[in-house]
Structure 1
Amino acid sequence: MGKKDKNIKFKAVIFDLDGTLVNSLQDIADAMNTVLKSYNYPTHSYEKHQSFIGSGIRSLVSKSLPLAHNDEQQVERCLHAMIEVYRDNCTNKTTPYDGIIELLDNLVSRDIKLSVLSNKADELTKKITHALFPNYFDPVIGLTSELLKKPNPFTVIEIAKNLGIKAEEIIYVGDTGIDMQTATNANMYAVGVLWGYRPKEELVANGAQYILSHPLDIMKLI
C-alpha cells in the first residue's frame, strides 16, 4: 500500500526497536511478571503484555499493576524494580526478527544512514541494540524524559539534523500507531510493519504510508 514521491530519494532509515527490529516481548514480560510475583500481584500472559508495549516502560508497569495498587508511588517502586530485573535479562530471549540483518546489510551497502529511536529507556535501548546489532546504527536513542516520549517528534527531528538529512528524505519504521504518528509529526515517511505488536488497522489509522509484510519489502522504496 501507499506510494512514495518519485522525486524523493531516501537517504536514511530510522527504526523503532521493540516489535520492529527485535522481538523482545518475552524478556519484557518475564521481568515484569517477576516484579508482580514479588508483590503477590496477578501476572499476565505474553499476549496481554504485548498490548502493554509501545509507550515506554513506565506505561507498561502502570498497565500491569492491579487497579487497587496503581498509585504513583507504587508505579515508581515497581518501575525501578522492573528495570533492575530487565537490565540483567534483556537479551535472554530477545532476537532480531527474520530478515532484519539481511535488510540492514542491504541498506548499508547502499550508503543509507541507519538510526534507532525507541520509547524504551535510553540505557536499555543502547544495550540491546549494541549487543544484537553492533556497528549498524548511529545514533541509538531511547527515552530520557517523559516529555520527549514519542509521538513527540523532537528527538527524531534532532536525529535528522545530526545526520544532515532532510526529514522528507527519511523513512521512519515502526510497529505501532505511536510510531506512525511520530513519523507524520516529523514530516518523515511513515512505514509500518506487520510482524510487530500491533495490527495493520492501527498502523493505517495513524498515518502509515506503506506497510511491510517482510523486512526486505522496504527495499522497494529505496
Structure 2
Amino acid sequence: MQDKKLLIFDFDGTLIDSVPDLADAINTMLTTLGKPTYSLDTIKEWVGNGSRLLVERALVGQTQVPDGALTPSEADHAEQIFLEAYNSIETSKTVAYPDVDKGLHQLKQAGYTLALVTNKPIRFVPKILESFGWTPLFSSVLGGDSLPVKKPDPTPLLHTCQTLGFTPMQAVMIGDSVNDMLAGKSAGMDTLALSYGYNYGQDIRDSRPSAAFDNFADLLDYVLNQ
C-alpha cells in the first residue's frame, strides 16, 4: 500500500452504523402516510443508494421497485417527509463501528490523505462528522447529491482524485457495498471491502474486491503494514 496515498471511504455501513436512525425516520414517514412499518433488519437491506431509492423501497416494501409502482409526486412527497423526520432526530442512535475512530486518526497520522464519498444527502454529513470529531480528518467530502451522479458511478471518486491532486492508481476505495466496489473498479482504483455493513443481504466478497475484511482493525493492519 506504499504507493497508495489517497483513501476514499464510504460512510454508512463502513465508518458508521446509521441504520437505527434511518429506520426510525423511514417508519415515521410510513406511519405518516398510513402505510405499514418495517423492522430494522428489513430496512437495513434497502440502504446504500441514497435517500430517494431508500424511500421508494420502503413505499413498495421490497428492494426492487417495479416500474410504474410510484408516481414522481408520490415519491417526492414521501422523501420530503423522510428527510424532515431524519433531520429532526434529537437523540441520535448512530454510532461508529469498532476501531474506526482510532483507525482514522492512525491513518491520518501515517500520512494518508482521507476523503469521504457517500450516497447520503450532503446536508446531513457535516453534522455527523462533527459529532464524532472527524471533520479535520477528511480533505474532501462528497454527498450523494453533491454531483449529478452518485456511486456506483465512478464520477465522485474521479472528482475527488482530481480535486486533491491524485491519480486513481494512487487511490483506494473502501466501502461495504457493491456500489462502492463497482465505483472503485470503474474508476480504476483498488477496492477494499468491509463485510459488516449494508450490502442488501449479500456477501461483499461476491463483488470481488481487491481484499475484504470482517472488521476495521484488520483493514487498518493491512493498509499500514502492506
- So what's the TM-score if we normalise by structure 1? 0.90
Give the structure 2 partner of residue 141 of structure 1: 142
Is this contact kept in 2: 1:61–1:75, CA < 8 A?
yes
Cα distance change, pair 171–83 in 1 and its aligned pair in 2 (3 A) = same
- Superposition pairs of residues 11-160 of structure 1, within 5 angstroms: 11-66=5-60, 70-89=70-89, 92-132=92-132, 133-144=134-145, 147-160=148-161
Say what the alpha-carbon RMSD is for the aligned residues.
2.1
Structure 2 unaligned regions, length at least 5: 62-67
Deviation at 1:89, TM superposition (A): 1.8
Give the structure 1 partner of residue 165 of structure 2: 164
Deviation at 1:200, TM superposition (A): 9.0
Deviation at 1:113, TM superposition (A): 0.5
Deviations, residues 201-221 of structure 1 (Å, cap 9, x unaligned): 542332311101221222323
SS at match of 1:165: coil
Instruction: Give the partner amino acid of 2:110.
Output: R
Deviations, residues 117-156 of structure 1 (Å, cap 9, x unaligned): 0111111123222322231112111012684111111111
Instruction: Give the partner amino acid of 2:180.
Output: D
Cα distance change, pair 200–81 in 1 and its aligned pair in 2 (3 A) = closer
Is this contact kept in 2: 1:18–1:24, CA < 8 A?
yes
Deviations, residues 141-175 of structure 1 (Å, cap 9, x unaligned): 10126841111111111111121112111111111
Aligned mates of 1:199, 1:88 — CA distance in 2: 27
Aligned mates of 2:213, 2:90 — CA distance in 1: 26
Deviations, residues 92-115 of structure 1 (Å, cap 9, x unaligned): 100110100111111011110011
Instruction: Give the partner amino acid of 1:42.
Output: P
Is this contact kept in 2: 1:42–1:66, CA < 8 A?
no
Is this contact kept in 2: 1:175–1:194, CA < 8 A?
yes
Aligned mates of 2:215, 2:166 — CA distance in 1: 26
Structure 1 unaligned regions, length at least 5: none
- So what's the TM-score if we normalise by structure 2? 0.88
Aligned residues: 216
Share of identical aligned residues, percent? 26
Is this contact kept in 1: 2:147–2:156, CA < 8 A?
no
Cα distance change, pair 201–79 in 1 and its aligned pair in 2 (3 A) = closer
